[in-house]
């Protein structure tokens, strides 16, 4: 024990004193009394640190987690190479053929129905609804989709709206193959936008543009009109407003919960054993996303149609939305986070945040100085 004490003291003597290497003016004596204004000097640093933590927890909702590599092994690498040959050389061409046949059947039936039955709206809508469900089934087959539906199949009723968590645009396809929903969706460019403005328009879908403020008023009016209609297709809304990576749920927009209608929650959970179904629209196009699904082994998914919910007495639309979000999150095993998904598209610039922080810091300093002056009196 004495040897240990001696060695520790020798180490302490050998350890350099950092104060010997600093100029005398840089060494400040500790204050006898720590004041709040001293803490404010480091408030910008603390704010930046807290902002970094918040930013990390926010971006985590929109990151796809790549699978850990398992094939860099002399025994497993040949099997992985064989799997690549099967997926790209056999499965992918077969899936392209299936999707091509589906489009041929769909267009050869849809165009005559849409053109020749314009005077028979009820029959035309019924046939168009069945054809949209058919082409969505071909899409799911082109991924070798293994989708398990739980609960009663949705049906068209007035004063009713369906809401679901959102992982990818394929959420709509997975749900549409069972029931022809009229969906609220962002307007997309390219071939997806062409389908939106032609085929999906026939089932009553409503499109909007996030950058247009007027679209919000138009969409709100169309939502109310659609919910009040008796012959309209069931209305489907993704209240998160953006695709989340199927590990979290972000805040639900309250628009779907202000309609005075019964809200029917739908929980969607993808199994990532073969492929991650999350679509990061900022990094890849929807075409690339579809090719990724079509070159995987399969898309495995569970869909739960949950018990309809109504707004309780004294409950606000925001509270109602959070209650429904909690039901969906619990059923699908997702973690709830208090972030607005629209921040993914429009986030404040660093200069704007810095100006806000400095202005708030100056305001706090002034308030504290005034309080100290009053206390001294």
User: By the 8 A CB rule, do 241 and 165 touch?
Assistant: no
Residue 6 has pLDDT above 60, yes or no: no
Q: What is the mean pLDDT of residues 198-209?
A: 79
Residue 50 within any structural domain of the chain: no
Any domain includes 321: yes
Q: Domain range spanning residue 237?
A: 146-342
The Cβ-side half-sphere exposure at 273, using a 13 Å CA radius, reads 9
H helix or E strand, kind and range, residue 291: helix 286-294
Output the pLDDT for position 295.
Answer: 94
**Cβ-proximal residues to 127 (8 Å cutoff; 6+ apart), any chain:** 109, 113, 117
Asked if residue 172 is part of any domain, the answer here is: yes
Q: Is residue 307 part of a domain?
A: yes
Give the three-class secondary structure for 3: helix
- The angle at the Cα of 193, spanning 170 to 155, to the nearest 5 degrees, equals 50
User: Any idea which of 48-52, 181-185, 259-263 has the lowest mean pLDDT?
Assistant: 48-52
- C-beta of residue 276 within 8 angstroms of C-beta of residue 174: no
Report the distance separating Cα 67 and Cα 34, nearest Å: 51
- Determine the pLDDT at residue 209: 72
| Average pLDDT of the residues in 24-34 | 53
Contact between 341 and 251 under an 8 Å Cβ cutoff? The reply is: yes
Q: Is residue 322 part of a domain?
A: yes
Tell whether 54 is covered by a domain: no
What's the total number of domains in the chain? 1
- Domain-located, residue 235: yes
Domain-embedded: residue 352: no
Query: Which residues, including other chains, have CB under 8 Å from residue 150's CB and lie 6 or more apart?
Result: 302, 303, 304, 305
């Amino acid at each position: 024990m004495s040897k240990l004490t001696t060695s520790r003291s020798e180490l302490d003597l050998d350890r350099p004193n950092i104060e010997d290497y600093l100029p005398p003016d840089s060494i400040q004596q500790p204050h006898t009394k720590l004041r709040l204004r001293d803490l404010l000097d480091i408030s910008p640093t603390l704010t930046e640190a807290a902002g970094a933590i918040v930013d990390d927890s926010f971006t985590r909702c929109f990151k796809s987690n790549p699978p850990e590599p398992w094939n860099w092994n002399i025994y497993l690498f040949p099997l992985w190479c064989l799997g690549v040959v099967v997926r790209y050389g056999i499965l992918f061409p077969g899936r392209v053929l299936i999707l091509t046949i589906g489009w041929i059947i769909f267009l050869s039936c849809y165009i005559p129905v849409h053109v020749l039955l314009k005077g028979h709206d009820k029959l035309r809508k019924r046939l168009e609804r069945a054809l949209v469900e058919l082409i969505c089934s071909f899409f799911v087959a082109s991924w070798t989709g293994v989708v398990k539906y739980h609960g009663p199949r949705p049906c068209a009723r007035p004063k009713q709206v369906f809401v679901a968590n959102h992982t990818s645009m394929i959420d709509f396809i997975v749900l549409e193959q069972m029931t022809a929903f009229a969906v609220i969706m962002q307007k997309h460019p390219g071939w997806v936008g062409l389908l939106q403005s032609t085929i999906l328009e026939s089932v009553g879908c409503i499109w909007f543009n996030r950058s247009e403020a007027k679209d919000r008023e138009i969409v709100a009016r169309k939502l109310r009109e659609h919910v009040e209609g008796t012959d309209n297709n069931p209305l489907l809304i993704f209240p998160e407003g953006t695709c989340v990576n199927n590990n979290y749920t972000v805040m639900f927009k309250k628009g779907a919960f202000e309609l005075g209608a019964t809200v029917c929650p739908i929980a969607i959970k993808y199994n990532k054993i073969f492929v991650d179904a999350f679509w990061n629209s900022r990094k890849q196009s929807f075409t690339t996303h579809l090719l990724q699904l079509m070159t995987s082994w399969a898309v495995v998914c569970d869909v739960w149609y949950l018990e309809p919910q109504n707004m309780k007495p004294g409950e606000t639309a925001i509270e109602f939305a959070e209650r429904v979000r909690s039901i969906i999150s619990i059923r699908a095993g997702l973690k709830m986070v208090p972030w607005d998904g629209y921040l993914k598209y429009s986030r404040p610039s660093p200069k704007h945040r810095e100006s806000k922080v400095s202005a708030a810091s100056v305001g706090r300093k002034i308030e504290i100085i005034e309080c100290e002056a009053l206390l001294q009196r």
